[in-house]
Structures are given as structure tokens and as C-alpha cells.
Amino acid sequence: MAILGVESAIFGVDDVAQCGKFWTDFGLTAVSLGPEECVFEVMSGSKVVVRRRDDVRLPAAYADKPGVRETIWGVDTAEALEKLVANLAGDRKVRRDADGTAHFFADDGMPLGLRVWNKRSVLSQPDPVNAPGKIQRLNLHRKWRQRAIPKTINHVVFFAKDYVASLEFFINRLGFRYSDHSRGAGAFARADGTNEHHSIFFVSTALPMAPDQPGFMHIAFGLEDIDELMLGVNQMHAKGWKNISTNSSGGLSRHRISSAIYYYFDNPNGGEAEYHADTDYVDDNWVPRVWDWKFGSLLWATHTPSFWRAAKIEWDMQFDQDRASLEPFRGARTKAAKPPESVERLKPEDEHAI
């Protein structure tokens, strides 16, 4: 049994044409463009589907705002799909399409799908990096590109009232692997058939900048290296797209969690779209970690986050192979409840660092 990653992210939006233009400018390949629906894909075959918010093909709204309405996860074989569906059908309704796609709701109400996916292999050739005394390109210039071409959908992120329970549904019922935990802020898991550090991240709705309701936060697309990423950023800015919301405002940054370089754009489809490069790739030998969000969030950012100015950041990391760190954060949490001490000092402008 293996889930290979996001096969389709299906958005419900207000303006299909405007939202379609965003994805075209972002570098996705258009499969079909119409007034009711636009479909795009990346090299791996993962799709972004854009429909109107009131499209009858969409499941009931997960939150009262634009964003991903249904995430379809790709499964490697028909046998694996049927095994997953048989388990899910034991305690919930599973609706099947003629092509075998299964639709259901997670325990937290999130609409999900599963379908067999013939995931395409992806070709990348990031430029070797030169350093003093370590010459990997001699008389060779770096690659000249015309545009950024996203290769993969690396992860989707949702706010959750009980991020432990939301994560555990994916681990216990869909075979995901626990990756890491930002204590009190959220937790990460990876689909069992992929090596990206995380395929899904649940963020606590109790964070000061969170919407106090579950729903879509952002979607990340894998690029070859920092040059392709920043070319995409420059071209998006040239086309008028912004990164001014709290989550997008960090500019170019590198996480400590997952090591990835990233850059967000405000997304008319809802939440943010993330260019993502040089992430950690892990397998079942990975030992999950837990840390305070201030230590775990960033190695650096072009826009210095407020918490870096406010306090000395203590080095804080423990291994968490038995998931014990999740226990204190189990249960519903909203802004009405006292947020965990470790995230009390978060400010809205720190959101991009989570």
C-alpha cells in the first residue's frame, strides 16, 4: 500500500478566469481552460483543478472561504486503493466515481479522495554549487532558464482545531508517516509512497494569526533549485502578483524544519501558493523531532521575523520517535482556549515562519 502524494488539489473559487491566470503565471501547464473549470498539471502529473465555489461537483465547503475544497491523494495500485477504501468504509460513507475514485470525509470533516495514480517520473538537474576549495563547476556557467516550471506538488497545509487528531487520521487510516512536531503550533506527516519531508501539515487554529476555524492554508510546489525559484518569484512580481499577506510576507526564507527554501504568493484561489526547493527527503529511517516553533521554524529569512528581534532563541530539539510530544496538545483548541505557552508570543507577521 502506498499513497504517492497529492494527485489533485481541487479549488472552489470566486473568479475562475482570474484564478486560472494565477496558475498559468505561476508556471503550471494548462490541461483545459473553460469558464466553469480550469485544470493544470505539473511534471509529475499532479493536477490543480479550479471550479466555482458553488459548483455542484464540489463537496460541502470545509470553510467559508476560497481554497482547496477536496484533496485527491494518488495511490500506486488498484489493490492498495481497495484496501484503503475497505478500511475507511468500516466507519464512514465512501462514495465511488465510475473511474473508481473514492470520496470520503476525514474525522475532522475534511473532504478527501483517493484514486489510482500513474505518477510520472520527474527530471531535475539542479546546478552543482561552487564554494572556495570545492569547485563543482569549472568553466561552466549556471543554467539559463526562460521560466520556472513546477515539478511536483510537495505538500498541502490546513488549519485544524485538533491538529493531533487530524494528523493521526492520516497516520492511522492512510498510512502516512509522522515527520516532525512544532510544539503547540502544528505537526507534519509524509505519504508512505513519497520521500518529501512532509505531504501534509496541520496548523493549530489556536495560533494568534490563525483563522480560529479549520480550512486551507497553502499548497507548495517543488522546483529544481534556488535559481528556478527566484526566477519564478521575479516573473510573478513582474505580472503583478503580491506577497503581502501575513503568511506571504517573509520573502525568501529557509526552514529549519525540512530545510526547504521557500517563497509564498498570495493566491486568489485561497491561502497561499508556495515555491519550494531543496527540501529534505526522508524515508522510514527518519527519526521525527519536536522543537519549540522559534527554533524549528527558520534558518534565515530575507525579512527578519519579529520573534528574532524580541528574544534569544534557545536551541531546543528532542527526538520523538514514539510521538509522545503530541499528547499534551491532544484535543480541540481554539483561540477561546489558552494557546500553548510555546506559541503565546507569536505575532501575525510571524505566520510565514511556522
* Single-letter amino acid code for the residue at 299: L
Q: How far is the CB of 83 from Fe ion (least distance, A)?
A: 30
- Cβ-based nearer residue to Fe ion, 8 or 154: 154
Q: How far is the CB of 290 from Fe ion (least distance, A)?
A: 19
Q: How far is the CB of 113 from Fe ion (least distance, A)?
A: 21
The phi, psi pair for 304, rounded to 5°, reads -60, 120
Angle at 267 between CA 206 and CA 216, to 5 degrees: 35
- Cβ-based nearer residue to Fe ion, 28 or 220: 220
What is the size of the binding site for Fe ion (CB under 5 A)?
2
- H helix or E strand, kind and range, residue 307: helix 306-310
Give the CA distances from residue 354 to residues 24, 178, 332, in Å, rounded to whole numbers and listed in that order. 27, 17, 20
Binding to Fe ion by residue 219, rule CB under 5 A? no
- Cβ-based nearer residue to Fe ion, 59 or 305: 305
Q: How far is the CB of 220 from Fe ion (least distance, A)?
A: 4
- Cβ-based nearer residue to Fe ion, 157 or 326: 157
Q: With contacts defined by CB under 5 A, name the span among 9-17, 168-176, 220-228, 304-312 that binds Fe ion.
A: 220-228
The phi, psi pair for 184, rounded to 5°, reads 85, -15
- Cβ-based nearer residue to Fe ion, 75 or 261: 261
Which residues inside 272-311 make contact with Fe ion, applying CB under 5 A? 274
Q: How far is the CB of 272 from Fe ion (least distance, A)?
A: 8
Binding to Fe ion by residue 58, rule CB under 5 A? no
Name the burial class of residue 141, with classes exposed (0-12), middle (13-18) and buried (19+) by CB atoms within 10 angstroms of its CB. exposed
Euclidean distance between CA atoms 59 and 64, whole angstroms: 13
Grid cell 475562475 in the structure block, residue? 16
| Residue environment code for 102-120, b if the CB has 16+ CB neighbours within 10 A, otherwise e | bbbbbebebbbbbbbbebe
Q: How far is the CB of 322 from Fe ion (least distance, A)?
A: 26
Binding to Fe ion by residue 203, rule CB under 5 A? no
Euclidean distance between CA atoms 303 and 292, whole angstroms: 20
- Cβ-based nearer residue to Fe ion, 48 or 102: 48
Q: With contacts defined by CB under 5 A, name the span among 89-97, 233-241, 269-277, 287-295 that binds Fe ion.
A: 269-277
Q: Which residues pair with 153 in a beta bridge?
A: 221
Residue 114 near residue 102 (C-beta atoms within 8 A): yes
Binding to Fe ion by residue 220, rule CB under 5 A? yes
Q: How far is the CB of 68 from Fe ion (least distance, A)?
A: 13
What does the binding site for Fe ion look like in residue numbers (CB under 5 A)? Answer: 220, 274
